[in-house]
Structure 1
Amino acid sequence: MDSVQRLVMKSNKCKSKNYENSTHKNRVFEVLQSSRNKNDSFCDIKLQTDDGTIVFGHKSILASATPYFKTMFFSVGESNKDLVKITKLDSTILKLLIDYIYTGEIMIAQENVQFVLVAADRLQLLYVEQVCVEFLQKQLDPSNCLGIKEFADLHNFKKLLSNCEAFIKKQFLEIVKYDEFLSLSSEEVIKLISCNDVNVPFEEKVYECVIKWVKHELNQRKHLLPNLMEHVRLPLVSKEYLVENVVNEPLLKNDPKCKEYVFEALHFQVIKSVNSFSIPKTVWSKPRQVQKIFLISSWSKSEKMYITNWYDPVTNQLQIVPEITYCNQSSILCVVKDEFVFLVCGETRCVGMTDISLQGNYNWVRKPNLLERRSSFRVCVLNDCIYAIGGNTENYDDYYKDFLNTIEVFSLDTQKWKTVSNKYSKSERRKFGVGVLNNLIYTVGGFNGSTYLKSVECYDPSLDKWYPVAEMSIERCNVGVGVLNGIMYVVGGANELGIHKCVEAYSPYNGVWTSIADMNLCRENPGNYNN
């Protein structure tokens, strides 16, 4: 035997190796779980619930699984006991959780999830808490979310509460259709309708749910109406709805405070019809959330009018705004203050404006004309002012020679256009791109009548001065310009070689252009995102 051992020791092929029995742990816990079920002598602790049920276990196992039992068994009063009372905990739920400690498995159902979650929180079984919260989150729907939110709030389950609140704000219009909403207290209704980010595309819906809630138990709730109406943003209700539905509502007509709210809303409509920009921007007159609306504009040659479609991804609704006949295909859209959309037509000098905060009541309103006719010009917005830059004059016989080197600016405050720079650029250029970065206006590339340009210039409105900056690597016109996270991106464009798919990025911090990945498709005059 010794000789064999010596031979093995001398062998270079025999190296140390660690072996693991993958079934060993499970088998040990199966034996321990079996001993619990048989109540045998290996169990050293008995847990007794209020109904007298005894659940057997092993102190070392339970203490290893959760700080709750570790603290209990190592405390002076409980360390030597073999029977511990677990009060205010259902015996079925306790058995389920102790079984989980031994098996690592637990069955969660609609009938027991709330009881299991409360008990798991008490016993500090974090994994069980987590899966219960996930289970409840998947069960959220408009008919039960208010009840689940109340449960989460009562037991201080912060993650579940936060998810419920987000769901309620998003699904508000569906939630108010169910009985859970009608059973809310007035304080809970006020908390909900006073949120700035509750998803209501039209304030009429908030008004309707308040009236519905009050009428559900009219005698007990009608005295609460003034407090509720304080949080309904009546100025945002359409004028037609206000006159047809709100003014004649008996509940409002019979309450002095509610009548005040209605009068203020009517007064707001009068101010708005005179001058949208003079409307006082109080919380009461602002939409509850900034609507993310995409503008899809087009020029109809057959109809000779400018058509704009408005798509709101929050409500998944598409709406056609009334057409504009005084603008043509050379018109440019821009947005001021995330609220006012302007359509600027250089060739007719006409300007139209609509207010997207009116929540569906969109109409184009004529604004003061540009001072000069211009084609192939560009528009940008800086500090809530609109800048119309460069382009050509109306003399199309000399289309490539009559360049405009002026900048006009429109102020919301004065409601007027004025010329701010008589020489907008050291280089004649048209069909250029324009971007705004760090309160400076950049004109990028373009065409000067004979040559495509790669030069870039920067205008500082505060000093009324132009400065040259680094050139792009490729000459091109009709580029798209976008700004994101302090970097300006120039996309696509065209020159004598055709339409391009290249992209360059400009950093104002080092004054350098960097070529980045090409687009998949070549594009001329592409639209770009700006932030």
Structure 2
Amino acid sequence: MSAQTPVFQEMRRGRKLCDAVLSVAGVQFPVHKIVLCGCSSYFRALFTHWSSPDCEAFEIPHLSAHIMEILLDYVYTGEVSVTMENLQELFITADRFNVSGFTQACCRAMEEQLAPINAIGVWWFSNTYYYPELRSQVFDYILQHFEEVIARCEEDFLQLSVEDLVKIVGEDRLNVRQESTVFEAVLSWIRHDLRERERHLPELLSKVRCQQKVLIVANIRYYRKIAMIRLARITPEYFNQSVRCCEMVMQNRDCRTLIRTAMKLMPNVRMQGFNASLFPEPLARPRLPRAILVATGGWSGRDIVNRVESFDNRANCWMGVANDDETPRAYHGTVFLNGSLYVIGGCDDLAEVRTVHRYDLVQRTWQEVGPMRSKRCYVSVALLDGLIYAMGGSDGLRRLETAERYAPDSNQWTMVAPMNEMRSDASSAAHSGKVYICGGFNGEVCLSTAECYNPQTNQWTLIAEMSCRRSGLSAIAYGNNIYAVGGFTGLSRLNSVEAYSPETNTWRPMPSMMTARSNFGIQVLEERLYVVGGYDGSTTTSSVEFLDFNIGVWSQAQHMGIPRSGLSCSLVFDLPNMADYAAAFPSLPQGNDMER
């Protein structure tokens, strides 16, 4: 019988059959020697080697009674209550008494309680007491939530050592929307102790590393600069107003050299189709994005393609993904779930399909999973509460009003309530526990109607109509609104955009796209709404543009590698191998880094 059962805990509480008493800060804790010996090498040595067999009373110094109670609760029940208040003392206790599983339980609890306000403190602590796995996870958290960490945990950030600051700001994985955020954070850190820290400024802007590779006949050393702050990626306005006007920077000769280099690179960085060969220059190197836009399939010219491309918005660059789906398809849907991209329905070169393929983005392998109940070309898909919804479309004979959903755990599709109207070439989005679907084509006319599905009641409800008919539109949820973008009225392609408020059940106009288009991809990435490819009324396009929600203006982004319509776009994020889908970084010589 395991010691971690209610029986032994009840016996300890009732002081039954206890054969030892631990005295901690004046509080007596009756315990069972055999139970503590079974899970702690410290207590095993205490009871068998450091005391006589008949000894029953043991003084445990340098420990609070409260922490001892938590430790004993874990020994007897396997449960531990970790809070920010007791974290440090619990870790020290775990290290001291070497209780089996206690450190791991504390680490798990700490990971669950990680927040911007405590991340740096936990990072320091995990290094002090050498918990490398926890330290690595906390470091990743700091990188992903850097802007929140420096805002909520400013005091701890200003106490970082220069070595720790270099580790953070030099990381390609540092997640910042604007490189100026890093610049300002570094300046704040220096000004906190100006006399001592000002000498570190050149090092924090650009650092030299030596990489050594031993060959048979000679030792060859490779030197490369590692940019801490990517100066060439700061906006020209901020660069001129803040960086070049910073007295601390401009008075330093090494920093002035970096400023001149950055100024030469800045025009190239902002050119359409920026050459990735410039990425080796550290001041122009983009950060790895936390999220990537992935475009799959579609029509290109006269052919349906299976091509997969990923868009790195930090570098404004499209990359080809090597592992294309074996089945070319168009007018399909895609959903990102649990590290995989699901490609759903559509049509291939021959006919409408009901097949679903899953691409594991980490393993980079394709697998066919459970097929839908119906063939669905021009399908609308949405993800809600871990379930994939597929709605409407065409089975080759008729337009569909039916809908179904997929549970990854069971690999099964089940039918849900049908929509109020037949809809193919519509578009859908999930928001606040409901699925919304807009527009489409019913076999006779393009639709301006929209409706929403409540999974709690398994019912569809018509909502306010859009301002115009839209088939081949794209819809997406962002903030408190559903956006309906572009499409086809039956007579012409649209560049108009409107937003639906579920709270007021009303639509309102938004700034129009630069290019009218239908059957295009759509996603929101870092407060920008991207539209990708499509058909503009005369040709299939590769053009990409985005709406900046902060200023309400559309701008051009880098074109895709090929023109295509009937494609589908998804956002993938927080992958351990995000670099596989981001802008190509040149490989560097292998070897041990030796900083100088």
SS at match of 1:47: strand
Quick check: 2:80–2:105 contact (8 Å CA) kept in 1? no
User: Any idea what the Cα deviations from partners look like across 1:257-278, whole Å, max 9, x if unmatched?
Assistant: 1111111101112555788338
Q: What residue is the counterpart of 2:376 in the other structure?
A: 521
Structure 1 CA distance for aligned equivalents of residues 333 and 65 of structure 2: 67
Change in Cα spacing, 1:31 to 1:201, as seen in structure 2 (3 Å) is closer
Q: Is 1:240 paired with 2:237?
A: yes
Counterparts in 2 of 1:176 and 1:101: CA distance versus 1, 3 Å: closer
Counterpart of 1:119 in structure 2 is 93
Give the Cα–Cα distance (whole angstroms) in 1 for the partners of residues 181 and 268 of structure 2. 23
In structure 2, what is the Cα distance between the partners aligned to 1:188 and 1:481? 44
Say whether the 8 Å CA contact 2:354–2:376 is kept in structure 1. no
Return the match for 1:33 from 6, 13, 16.
13
Name the Cα RMSD after superposition: 4.9
Q: Structure 2: where are the runs of 5+ without partners?
A: 207-227, 296-300, 358-367, 379-424, 426-564, 571-580, 582-596
**Residue of structure 2 equivalent to 1:289:** 288
Is residue 172 from structure 1 mapped to residue 212 from structure 2 by the alignment? Answer: no
In structure 1, C-alpha distance between the alignment counterparts of 2:348 and 2:308, rounded to whole Å: 29
Structure 1 contact 196–288 (Cα < 8 Å) conserved: yes
The C-alpha deviation readout for 1:264-295, integer Å capped at 9, x for no partner, is: 10111255578833852216122120463448
In the alignment, the residues of structure 2 paired with residue 119 and residue 490 of structure 1 have an alpha-carbon distance, to the nearest angstrom, of 52
List aligned pairs for 1:38-437, cutoff 5 A.
43-49=18-24, 55-75=29-49, 79=53, 81-98=55-72, 100-102=74-76, 107-126=81-100, 128-177=102-151, 178-230=154-206, 231-272=228-269, 276-277=274-275, 279-282=277-280, 284=282, 285-290=284-289, 292-294=291-293, 356-358=313-315
Contact 1:334–1:381 (CA under 8 A) maintained in structure 2: no
- Whether the 8 Å CA contact 1:30–1:103 is kept in 2: the answer is no
Q: For residues 208 and 268 of structure 1, what CA distance do their matches in structure 2 show?
A: 21
Higher normalized helix content (fraction of residues): 1
- 1:500 is aligned to 352
Secondary structure, aligned partner of 2:22: strand
Any conservation in 2 of the 1:45–1:57 contact (CA below 8 Å)? yes
Q: Sort the Cα spacing of 1:479 and 1:115 in 2 relative to 1 into closer, same or farther, 3 A.
A: closer
The count of corresponding residues between Structure 1 and Structure 2 is 340
Letter in 2 for 1:167: Y
1:164 positional shift:
1.6
Q: Any conservation in 2 of the 1:173–1:205 contact (CA below 8 Å)?
A: yes
- Cα 1:222/1:335, change in 2 over 3 Å: farther
Flag the 1:336–1:194 CA change in 2: closer, same or farther, 3 A. Answer: farther
2:287 partner SS: coil
Which structure ranks higher in relative contact order (CA pairs < 8 Å, sequence separation ≥ 6)? 2
CA apart distance, 1:154: 1.4
Contact preservation (8 Å) 1:72, 1:79: no
Change (3 A) 1:241 1:491: same
Say whether the 8 Å CA contact 2:333–2:344 is kept in structure 1. yes
Q: Deviations over 1:17-53 (max 9, x none)?
A: xxx9xxxx756653443337xxxxx65434345x566
What whole-Å deviation, never above 9, does each CA across 1:136-163 have from its counterpart, x for those lacking one?
A: 3333221221112211221223443233
Alpha-carbon distance in 1 for matches of 2:126, 2:67 = 19
SS of corresponding position for 1:60:
helix
Distance 1:131 1:278, change over 3 A: closer
Checking the alignment, whether the CA contact within 8 Å between 1:479 and 1:490 is kept in structure 2 is no
Distance 2:293 2:138 in 1: 29
Instruction: Tell me the TM-score normalized by structure 2.
Output: 0.47
Identity %: 22
Instruction: Write out aligned runs for 1:11-22 (5 A).
Output: none
* Secondary structure class of the residue paired with 1:142: coil
Q: List alignment gaps of at least 5 residues for structure 1.
A: 1-19, 37-41, 297-328, 341-355, 363-379, 384-434, 445-476, 506-513
Alpha-carbon spacing, 1:35–1:480, altered in 2? closer, same or farther (3 Å): closer
Question: CA deviation digits over 1:292-316, x for unaligned, max 9?
Answer: 34489xxxxxxxxxxxxxxxxxxxx
Distance verdict in 2 for CA 1:224–1:502, change over 3 Å:
same
Deviation at 1:89, TM superposition (A): 2.8
Q: For residues 478 and 59 of structure 1, do their structure 2 counterparts lie closer, same or farther at Cα, with a shift above 3 Å needed? A: closer
Deviations 1:334-376 (CA, angstroms, capped at 9, x unpaired): 9999569xxxxxxxxxxxxxxx4456xx9xxxxxxxxxxxxxx
Change beyond 3 A, Cα 1:286–1:278: closer
Amino acid at match of 1:124: N
Contact between 1:336 and 1:381, CA under 8 Å: does it hold in 2? Answer: yes
Change in CA separation of 1:208 and 1:336 when aligned onto 2, cut-off 3 Å: farther
Contact 2:308 2:324 in 1 (8 A): no
SS of equivalent to 2:286: coil
2:170 maps to amino acid? S
Distance 2:356 2:70 in 1: 61
How far did 1:105 drift? 6.2
Cα distance change of structure 1 residues 245 and 153 upon mapping to structure 2, 3 Å threshold: same
- The change in CA–CA distance for 1:240 and 1:222 in structure 2 (over 3 A counts) is same
Equivalent residues of 1:489, 1:504 under 8 A apart = yes
CA distance in 2, matches of 1:288, 1:227: 18
Contact 2:36 2:44 in 1 (8 A): yes
Q: Contact 2:126 / 2:132 at 8 angstroms: preserved in 1?
A: yes
- Partner letter of residue 222 of structure 1? E
Relative to structure 1, the CA distance from residue 529 to residue 276 in structure 2 (aligned partners, 3 Å threshold; closer, same or farther) is closer
Quick one: distance in 1 between partners of 2:343 and 2:8?
Answer: 63
**Could you give the per-residue CA deviations for residues 73-96 of structure 1, whole angstroms, max 9, x where no partner exists?**
233765554444434333442244
Give, in whole Å, the separation in 1 of the partners of 2:107 and 2:315.
39
| CA distance, structure 2, for counterparts of residue 192 and residue 381 of structure 1 | 29
CA 277–337 in structure 1, closer or farther in 2 if over 3 Å, else same:
farther
CA distance in 2, matches of 1:291, 1:100: 37
In 1, Cα distance between equivalents of 2:179 and 2:63: 46
Give the structure-1-normalised TM-score: 0.52
The change in CA–CA distance for 1:334 and 1:273 in structure 2 (over 3 A counts) is farther
Q: 3-state DSSP class of the match of 2:291?
A: coil
SS in 2 for 1:35: coil
In 2, Cα distance between equivalents of 1:26 and 1:109: 24
CA–CA distance in 2 between the matches of 1:134 and 1:504?
A: 36
Structure 1 match to 2:394: none
Q: Is the 8 A contact 1:172 1:198 kept in 2?
A: yes
Look up the equivalent residue of 1:277 and give its one-letter code.
Answer: N
Equivalent AA in structure 2 for residue 205 of structure 1: T
